[in-house]
Amino acid sequence: MSAGGIPEDVLRDDNLIKGLEELAKDTAVMHGVVMRTKDSPNCPEVVSYAPFTLFPSPLPKTLFHQALEAQTHFNRLIDRISQSPHFLEEALSSTIKVDDFTARLFNIYRQVQQEPQHPVPIVLGLNRSDYMLDQSLDGTMSLKQIEINTIAASFGGLTSRTPDIHRHILKVANRLEERQRILDNNPAAGLAKGLSKAWELYGSERAVVMFLVEDEQRNIYDHRYVENELWLRDIPVIRRQFEDVCRTGSLDQNKRLFVGGQEVAVVYYRNGYMPQNYKSEQSWEARLLMERSCAVKCPDISTHLAGTKKVQQELARPGVLERFFPDEPETTARLRATFTGLYTLDMGEEGERTVDMALAAPDRYVLKPQREGGGNNIYGQEICSVLGSMRDSMERTAYILMDKVQPRPASNYLLRPGAPLRLSLCLSELGMFGAYVRCVQKGREMVMNECVGHLLRTKSSEHADGGVAAGVAVLDNPLLI
C-alpha cells in the first residue's frame, strides 16, 4: 500500500491474515453487516456477511474533505435542476427520442408538470455523489466525480456498521495507530433525518413512510437500518412493491395517497431506477399515481431525471453551472474542480468529434448509458464495437462519453462468501451521502441541507465496472492519510 496505509509486511504475514479472515467474517455478522443469499433472496433464515475488505483502504485526507465540503453544494445543484423545466427539456431532448426508459420517465414528468400543484409541495432529496481519485502523470491525485445517484442511493445502512468491524480487526492485528484514523460514520441516521423532516412537514401523525421496494430482497438489511431509525422517532414505516400500489393505491380529492387504506406521507424509492424494475404496464401506472399525489417523493420525478448521465454531461459544458449559481463563483469553481471530461454524442459536428476521439483511443474513455445500478458501462475495444455500429444512428445519443479516471491501486484482501482469500491490487470509489429538504411554504430556501455520511467501495483492479449489489465491489472504510 501507499505511505500511510497498512504496511506491506502486515499484508504478507500469512499467519496473521489467516487468523484475521475468520475473525473478520464473524465480526461482520455480529455487527449486522449481512445480506440475504442469491439462492434465497427473500428468506430471512439464510444470510451471510456482506462482502467487505479485510483492511481499510488509504485515502488522502484533503481529497476526502474536498468531497465532503462539496456535498451540500451538489444538493443545492440537484434541487435547482429539478426546478428548471426548460433545462431538463433541453438537456434530455435528444436522449428521450432513442432511450425508451428515460422517455417514459420524462412523459410522467410532463404529465405532472401540467397538473395543478399541491399548495405545500415538500421536496426531499437523498443522494450520493461518487468519486474516484485520478492520478496524473506527475503522480499527484485529484478528486473526480463519476456520477451522482438521485434515486435509491444504497448502502447507507450497512456502511454505518463497518467502521467498528475494521477497528476491531486493526486492534487484534495490533495496528492501533491506523485504528485511530477510521472515522465515525452513520449515514443511516442522516438519511432517516431527511425522511423524518419530510414526514414532519407533511403534517399527519397517522401517515406512513412507504419504502417502495423490489420483489427480491437481498439487500433488505441496508434498508432496515434506515427504517429502524424512523421507528425510533415513532414514525410508522411500511414496505410495498409497485404491484401493491397498483392493486390497492388511490388518491382522494385532495390528492392524498392511500395504499392499502393507509395514508402515505413519504414515498421512499428503493426501486424504480432500472427498466427491469417496471415488470408491467401497471408498474408505470403505479409510478404515475404516486407522482401525481401530494405525498413527498424521494426522489420526485424531476429529481430522478436530474441524476441522469446526460444531465451530468450537460453540466460540464462551459457556462452551464453558472446558470444555477449566477452569483456564486466560488461554488461553481468548487463543483467544476471535481468534474472529469464529459462529451456529447448528439448528432452533429460536436458529436462526430466525440465519436472520432473515442474510436481513436478507446482505452482513455468510458461509454455510459442512462442507467443506474452498476455493470452497464462500456470500456476498451468494446467501445469501438458498440459506437462503431451506431455511428450514423440516433441511437448513439442515448449514451455519453467520459474520460476514464486513472486511480492508483492499493493492495488489500476482498472478503466474499465462497471466494478464496488472496491479496489483490484494488481500486476504491468514494461516495458522499447528501440529504436535503425544501418546503415552499417556508420559502425557496432549504430547511435541511447536509452531508450525512460516506461510503467507500473497493474492487479488484481486474474489474472495470460494477458495484456491491452487482457482486464486484465490496464495502470498505477510508483510512485517511
pLDDT in tens, 79-99: 999 999 999 999 999 999 999
Decide if pLDDT at 349 tops 60: yes
Binding site annotation covers 186?
no
- Dihedral of CA 288/369/96/308: which sign? positive
Distance CA 180, CA 422 (A): 26
Q: Using one digit for the tens of pLDDT, what is the confidence trace for 424-436? A: 999 999 999 999 9
In the predicted model, what is the mean pLDDT of residues 117-132? 87
In the predicted model, what is the mean pLDDT of residues 371-395? 88
Binding site annotation covers 218?
yes
Decide if pLDDT at 260 tops 60: yes
Which cell numbers in the block locate residue 97? 427520442
pLDDT at 464: 67
Binding site annotation covers 282?
no
Burial class (CB in 10 A: 0-12, 13-18, 19+), 209: buried
14: Cα separation from own chain's centroid: 36
pLDDT at 1: 45
Distance CA 275, CA 319 (A): 33
**What amino acid positions are annotated as catalytic residues?**
128, 147, 149, 154, 309, 368, 372-373, 457
Q: Using one digit for the tens of pLDDT, what is the confidence trace for 331-343? A: 999 999 999 999 9
Q: Strands 478-480 and 34-36, how do they pair?
A: unpaired
DSSP code of 57? E
pLDDT at 121: 87
The band of 3, judged by pLDDT with boundaries at 50, 70 and 90, is low
H-assigned helices in 316-364: 320-324, 329-336, 349-360
Fold of 59-157+183-338+422-480: Rossmann fold (3.40.50)
Q: Using one digit for the tens of pLDDT, what is the confidence trace for 184-240? A: 999 999 999 999 999 999 999 999 999 999 999 999 999 999 999 999 999 999 999
Decide if pLDDT at 104 tops 50: yes
The candidate with the shortest Cα–Cα distance to 190, out of 225, 215, 139, 242, is 225
Residue of 464 and 403 predicted with greater confidence = 403
Distance CA 67, CA 454 (A): 9
pLDDT at 2: 43
With beta carbons less than 8 A apart as the criterion, state whether 193 and 233 touch: no
The band of 319, judged by pLDDT with boundaries at 50, 70 and 90, is very high
Decide if pLDDT at 66 tops 60: yes
Distance CA 222, CA 159 (A): 8
Decide if pLDDT at 119 tops 70: no
190 contacts: CB under 8 Å, gap ≥ 6: 156, 433, 435, 450, 452, 453
Distance CA 141, CA 427 (A): 14
Burial class (CB in 10 A: 0-12, 13-18, 19+), 262: middle
pLDDT at 440: 83
| pLDDT, the chain, mean | 94
pLDDT at 311: 97
Name the region of 157 (left: φ>0; alpha: ψ -120 to 50; beta: rest): alpha
Distance CA 187, CA 163 (A): 12
The helix or strand, by DSSP H or E, that contains position 52, with its residue range, turns out to be strand 52-53
Binding site annotation covers 368?
yes
Say which residue the cell 449566477 belongs to: 326
Binding site annotation covers 261?
no
The band of 470, judged by pLDDT with boundaries at 50, 70 and 90, is low
With beta carbons less than 8 A apart as the criterion, state whether 480 and 59 touch: yes
Binding site annotation covers 380?
no
Residues in the chain: 481
Axis crossing angle, helix 14-30 with helix 162-172, rounded to the nearest 10: 150
DSSP code of 471? T
Binding site annotation covers 42?
no
Does residue 293 sit in helix, strand or coil? coil
DSSP code of 341? -
Decide if pLDDT at 463 tops 80: no
Domain ranges of the chain: 59-157+183-338+422-480, 341-404
Decide if pLDDT at 100 tops 50: yes
Distance CA 266, CA 211 (A): 8
Residue of 442 and 176 predicted with greater confidence = 176
- 275: preceding bond cis by omega (within 30 degrees): no
Distance CA 224, CA 236 (A): 13
Span 341-404: which CATH code?
A: 3.30.1490.50
Which cell numbers in the block locate residue 301? 420525478
The band of 471, judged by pLDDT with boundaries at 50, 70 and 90, is low
pLDDT at 372: 76
